[in-house]
Amino acid sequence: MQNRSRFTQSIFILLALIATCQAFAAGPKNVIVMIGDGMGYNHIAAGNLYDKGTTGTQSFEQFPVHLGMSTFPYGASYDPAKCWSDFSYASKAKYTDSAPAATAMSTGKKSYDGAIGFVGATSTTAERAKHTSEYAQESGRATGVITTVEFSHATPAGFSAHNKHRDNYSQIAREMLSESKLDLIMGCGHPAFDDDGKPVKISEKGSEFVGGVDTWDKLLNQSLPTVDCDGDGKTDPWTVIQTRKEFQDLGTATTVPKRLCGVPQVHTTLQASRSGKKQMAEPTPDAIEKNRRGGLSGDKNADAFVVPLTESVPTLAEMSQGALHFLSHTSKGQANGFFIMIEGGAIDWAAHGNLNGRLIEEDIDFFRAVDTVVAWVNANGGWENNLVIVTADHETGYLTGPNSGVGGAPVWNSLVNNGKGKMPGMEFHEKHHTNNLVALFANGPAETLQKFDACATGQDPVRGKYLDNTDIAKTIIGIFASKN
């Protein structure tokens, strides 16, 4: 009798284990993380008002999961009561830099300012951490990072590289190209073009974002040392694309190379750093001070789309279409799926410069990239097979509606809607990042979405339920670490 009940008990345990494994195995094949750098709630609203003349109508705003997210770095915190009783809290409380924010979303661990794939209190005590992309590689998935700014910049680096400081662009670019197992890298930093897409003479300084002159030369002629990224015992060189047409053609290519590095013919950003001056709207001399992390000068302070876009470079939507097509057509992508991080990197740069027009342009470029991803998902397995997260790494510029601030009691006014195609009424209060919550939107398999909801244990009086940026990695790593 005793034996029999033990046997029954064992069967039950076995069945329970199988059920748990099946629940795990039902995760998405492909995981797409989209980050608007610096894109707070009001940055989304500003882009929306110009784009549609309303708020809440973007494709990602229709996703079933809609939460707040805290972004503070190692050793800091977010206090919802203080944030909404003291106007200065968000800008005075310890706020994050893009590097530890990306590292937190990628590794699940908090770190210090400047940290790329190293986690801890300071650079001297920090430990190397494993990225979501590395877990994805171990699960057999193809992996990629793409951005509208330099590919070695904080966010793409914070999802794929390991360096104690984000400013070591050359080292970071070399790690991504020569040591990582990424299948895809797309981003700016082209050493032979300026910020307007005009040819320039190649220099060592101008080549830092792509690893230096020697690395760039070797990358182009496929003699750069690389790793074996598909386990066949042979190292896998990069195929490089540069022209807008090459990016566009990738979106429908019948055959794809093994690894792809796309560097558009422009220096630091696709569009945000292009020349300005045409019909300057309210010039702000104090915005002229350039910030190495992406502040743009006041001569770029024209309304959105008044200064013509550079036509020789792709949009983020074109890059995203190419990237999804490429990853899903690699042998790894076909068999096991892929992980990609797509960044609208210059939303942050425009916000640092307090440049309303450039902010709207960067918002809309990012929104169209999300639309492209949503259309791709609908045509490629739907939401049972694909997880899409749209979020930000932090808020930049403390953007509000006009006349906000402290007048007796603190006020946070809404942006003013001046109609579709018109600049909304908006007001920046800082030139740096803040500790404000950002938004997180997700769509995908129901059981994965439930995990995000379960993580949202914080309650904000204005934004509602919120999770932490580390919860993104914790949830996605759970998917990759399970046996599909």
- Residue nearer to Zn ion on the CB measure, 434 or 443: 434
User: Which string of x and - marks every residue 268-307 that binds Zn ion (by CB under 5 A)?
Assistant: ----------------------------------------
Give least dist CB 349 to Zn ion, A.
7
Binding mask 321-350 for Zn ion (x = CB under 5 A): ---------------------------x--
CB of 388 vs Zn ion, minimal distance in Å = 24
Secondary element (H or E) of residue 266: none
Nearer to Zn ion, 101 or 449 (CB): 101
Comparing CA positions, the residue from 454, 450, 441, 328 lying closest to residue 385 is 328
Nearer to Zn ion, 396 or 470 (CB): 396
Residues near Zn ion (CB under 5 A), total: 2
Q: Which is nearer to Zn ion, 284 or 380 (CB)?
A: 284
Binding to Zn ion by CB under 5 A, coded x per residue (else -) over 347-376, reads -x----------------------------
Which 388-427 positions form the footprint of Zn ion (CB under 5 A)?
396
Q: Shortest gap between Cβ of 106 and Zn ion (angstroms)?
A: 17
Q: In angstroms, what is the minimal distance from the CB of 379 to Zn ion? A: 34
Residues 6+ apart with CB under 8 A from 218: 224, 225
Q: How many CB atoms lie within 10 A of CB 57?
A: 11
The b/e string for 205-229 (b: 16+ C-beta within 10 A; e otherwise) is ebbbbbbbbebbebbeeeebebeeb
| Residue 456 neighbours by CB under 8 Å, 6+ apart | 67, 68, 465, 466, 467, 471
Q: Give the nearest distance from C-beta 51 to Zn ion in angstroms.
A: 23
- Distance in angstroms (rounded) separating the CA atoms of residues 138 and 151: 23
Q: How far is the CB of 443 from Zn ion (least distance, A)?
A: 27
**What three-state secondary structure class fits 218?**
helix
C-alpha span between 43 and 399 (Å, rounded) = 7
Of 394 and 451, which has the nearer Cβ to Zn ion? 394
Q: Does the protein bind Zn ion through residue 208 (CB under 5 A)? A: no
Cβ-based nearer residue to Zn ion, 301 or 396: 396
Of residues 103 and 396, the one with the C-beta less far from Zn ion = 396
Residues 6+ apart with CB under 8 A from 187: 145, 146, 147, 148, 149, 150, 151, 152, 153, 156, 262, 263, 345
Cα-Cα-Cα-Cα dihedral sign, residues 218, 219, 223, 226: positive
Nearer to Zn ion, 348 or 362 (CB): 348
Q: What is the bridge-based pairing of β-strands 458-460 and 464-468?
A: antiparallel
Shortest Å distance, C-beta 192 to Zn ion: 27
Nearer to Zn ion, 98 or 330 (CB): 98
Q: How far is the CB of 446 from Zn ion (least distance, A)?
A: 35
Number of helical (H) and strand (E) elements in the chain, helices listed first? 17, 19
Least distance CB 229 / Zn ion (angstroms)? 31
Please name the amino acid found at residue 456.
Answer: A
Question: By beta-carbon distance, which residue lies closest to Zn ion?
Answer: 348
Q: 88: which 2 tokens?
A: 């200065």
Residues binding Zn ion (CB under 5 A): 348, 396
